[in-house]
Structure 1
């Protein structure tokens, strides 16, 4: 019988992490750099930014 895949590991966002994400957004830090610094995926960062109504990935 095949094993069931593990559910994705989700970590809740702390207030400090949200504050850092907002600082990075304001400083226009590249998303890849934020991802490495916060140890979160690029997709996770983008989803949280969308939920907070802030922009990420200011390449244009």
Structure 2
């Protein structure tokens, strides 16, 4: 039997989510930790950060 794939459930970013993302960006939190805390994918967080013109990740 084929493996069932998860159904994609899209959640809008609320004002509180954006505020939290800005705080993490300023604190330079690793993207993996932010993803776990906000229960979103790393790609989703990177896309939102890019849309808001804020730096996120790639800090070595």
Normalising to structure 2: TM-score of the pair?
Answer: 0.84
Deviations 1:4-33 (A, max 9, x none): x88732100000000000000000000000
Equivalent pairs counted in the alignment come to 56
Q: Which runs of 5+ in 1 are unaligned?
A: none
CA separation of 1:36 and 1:6: change in aligned 2, threshold 3 A:
closer
**RMSD between aligned residues:** 1.6
Match of residue 16 from structure 2: 16
Structure with higher RCO (Cα < 8 A, 6+ apart): 1
Match of residue 45 from structure 1: 45
Shift of the alpha carbon at 1:59? 2.3
Shift of the alpha carbon at 1:44? 0.1
